[in-house]
A and B are shown apart, each in its own frame.
Chain A
Amino acid sequence: MAEKKGPEREIHVDMMGLAFAKVMTIFTIVGIVLMVIPAIAYFAGINQYVPLTEAHKYWNMSASEFWIHVTGRKITGYAWIFDHLDKMDCLSMIGVLVLMITPLLSMLAGAAKAENGTYRILLLIAALEFIASILVKSIAAAAGGAKKVAGKVKK
């Protein structure tokens, strides 16, 4: 069998691709760490917003029914996370949020380094759509927040 020599020259990778990859690497690690460390504390029973023993009883219900039974509130935005950052399960969600916006940050980094104007515009359009979709949800959250449901008591 002939010995493989490897590529005869360097592979060309766009600058926008390299910038995209670098930012994605950094924020993925940050997101996973921010998600896992508070989750370990949560599983250890430290500062729980949703007690594990309660979640256990209702996790077969739809998401809306679950929250009504567990907290007496219907979840309609990000308030359940940001209002309870002292609770480990909510704090763990910050890591998921970082993972969610990592592609956005990567697209912006790629657009900044794009050598071609069309690709810069395409990546910026994708980034703007990304931001718009997150904002729409945030506006819904501000309008709704954690709505109290009659007849249920928040723990």
Chain B
Amino acid sequence: MAAWWFWPLFMFVFTLLIGIISPVSGVGGGVLYVPLATVITPFSVDFIRGAGLVMAVTSALSSVPYLIRKGLANIRIFAVIAPVMVITSVVGGWVGLWVTNAYPDGKYVIKVLLGAIILLVFFIMILSKRVEFPEVSEEERDSLSRKLNIWGEYYEPDLDTIVEYTTKNTPMAIVTFAVIGFVAGMFGLGAGWANVPVLNMMMGVPIKVATATSMLIITANAPAIGIYMTRGAILPLIVVPSILGITIGARIGAKVAEIIKPKFVRWLVLAILFIAGVLNIIKGLQGMGVIPPILPGVS
């Protein structure tokens, strides 16, 4: 058995690498952190989900103020979505811990569900076609968007101009975000993987605004931290190295993004997600006794 300090140190290096990959791939830290840490490390899935949530929220809190000032993160869209997501993310977090604790095989069920969600993310990422500057005509605007005057603008260096935008399908998007909040809370994930396609493809906001506003929305998941904390599922020896790792890694990643091809990293992330999803499902099923032991270290 490794000395106690090995795994916190490992978490630091591990999250440092995730932090480097995240800014160039557009995948939030949590969605890589939770499934991979569940497979690689000896920590209970409870502690990993708790740390994943704190990590996702902290990295969002760190970047959102800058994005708002640049006009990229839209507070109007956030104000419409937050009242729904705050509630559903808390319910999701509670259900996740309840499943783990109420049933003897709960943690294995969570692992199977987590694997399924990760594979879903994998397919969404493969199939989604992001649109850089979707156009929403006045006819396409829904009545809620008109009533609330949801709009925004930002400077686009590639076009050397100020891009103005508005939204469509707002009521449908609100319902979708309710479901996303539940899933993100339940699995301790940031919700960037789902927020971005909904904002971009369903609501019709530019991809940069979708990515930035997604970070703003992720901050609404913060109350779910309380659930993990009141169950003792947040331990500093896991959380603190992870926060430091992802914070430093994201800064390095921003520099790396300038020299590495994002397409390569995207496929790298897809490969990681696929492997993590499959491994989680196998580990869960063998823990439940559904399949014979294939992988070592089921706990």
Residues of B within 8 A of A7 (CB): 155, 161-162
User: Chain B residues near A80 (CB, 8 Å)?
Assistant: 232
Residues of A within 8 A of B73 (CB): 17
> In the complex the two chains form, is A123's CB within 8 Å of B79's CB?
yes
Min CB gap B9→A, angstroms: 10
Measured CA separation A73–B46 after assembly (Å): 17
Subset of 27 A-B contacts with CB under 8 Å: A6-B155, A7-B155, A8-B162, A14-B75, A14-B76, A31-B58, A32-B247, A35-B236, A35-B240, A43-B8, A43-B237, A59-B44, A63-B228, A64-B101, A66-B47, A67-B232, A75-B231, A78-B229, A92-B236, A96-B54, A99-B61, A100-B226, A100-B229, A103-B222, A119-B76, A122-B82, A125-B83
For chain B, which range describes its interface: under 10, 10 to 19, 20 to 34, or 35 or more residues? 35 or more
**Best-surrounded residue of A16, A75, A103 (most CB of chain B within 10 A):** A103
Total interface residues on A, CB under 8 Å, equals: 75
Q: Are A126 and B155 in contact (CB under 8 A)?
A: no
Q: Which of B44, B161, B240, B243 contacts A61 (CB 8 A)?
A: B44
State whether A66 touches B232 (Cβ < 8 A).
yes
Question: Contacts A36-B240, A39-B236, A126-B86; is A60 near B44 (CB within 8 Å)?
Answer: yes
B153 and A12 form a contact (CB under 8 A) = yes
Surface stretch bound by A, among B18-26, B63-71, B129-137, B201-209: B63-71
Q: Is the interface of A mostly helix, strand, loop or mixed?
A: helix
A residues 69-98 in Cβ contact with B at 8 Å? 75-78, 80-81, 89, 92-93, 96-97
The number of residue pairs between A and B whose CB atoms lie closer than 8 Å in the complex comes to 210
**Interface flag for B196 (CB, 8 Å):** no
Where the two chains meet, the residues of B that have a C-beta atom closer than 8 Å to any C-beta of A are: 1, 3-5, 7-8, 42-47, 50, 54, 57-58, 61-62, 64-66, 68-71, 73-76, 79-80, 82-83, 86-87, 90, 97, 100-101, 106-107, 147-149, 153-155, 157, 160-162, 219-220, 222-223, 225-240, 243-244, 247, 299
Cα of A39 to Cα of B238 in the assembled complex, Å: 11
Choose from A35, A104, A126 the contact partner of B79 (Cβ within 8 Å): A126
The answer on a CB contact under 8 Å between A122 and B235 is no
What residues of B have a CB within 8 angstroms of the CB of A24 in the complex? 61, 64-65, 219
CB atoms of B65 and A22 under 8 A apart:
yes
Given A14-B76, A56-B4, 20 additional A-B pairs, CB 8 A = A11-B154, A13-B68, A13-B71, A16-B75, A17-B68, A39-B236, A43-B8, A52-B4, A62-B100, A63-B50, A63-B100, A89-B236, A93-B229, A96-B234, A101-B222, A102-B222, A103-B220, A122-B79, A130-B86, A133-B87
Determine if B44 and A21 form an interchain contact, defined as CB atoms under 8 angstroms apart.
no
Interface of A toward B, CB cutoff 8 Å: 2, 4-9, 11-14, 16-18, 20-22, 24-25, 28, 31-32, 35-36, 38-39, 42-43, 50, 52-53, 55-56, 59-64, 66-67, 75-78, 80-81, 89, 92-93, 96-97, 99-104, 106-107, 110, 116, 118-119, 122-123, 125-126, 129-130, 133-134, 137, 140-141
Shortest 3 CB-CB contacts between residues of A and residues of B = A75-B232, A21-B65, A56-B4
Complex: A137 Cα to B233 Cα, angstroms: 14
Q: How far is the CB of A118 from chain B (nearest CB, A)?
A: 6
B4 in complex: contacting residue of A20, A21, A53, A102, CB < 8 Å: A53
Question: Are B68 and A18 in contact, CB atoms less than 8 angstroms apart?
Answer: yes
A133 near B223: Cβ-Cβ < 8 Å: yes
CB distance from B140 to the nearest CB of A (A): 22
B229 touches A76 (CB 8 A): no
Residues of A within 8 A of B148 (CB): 116, 118-119
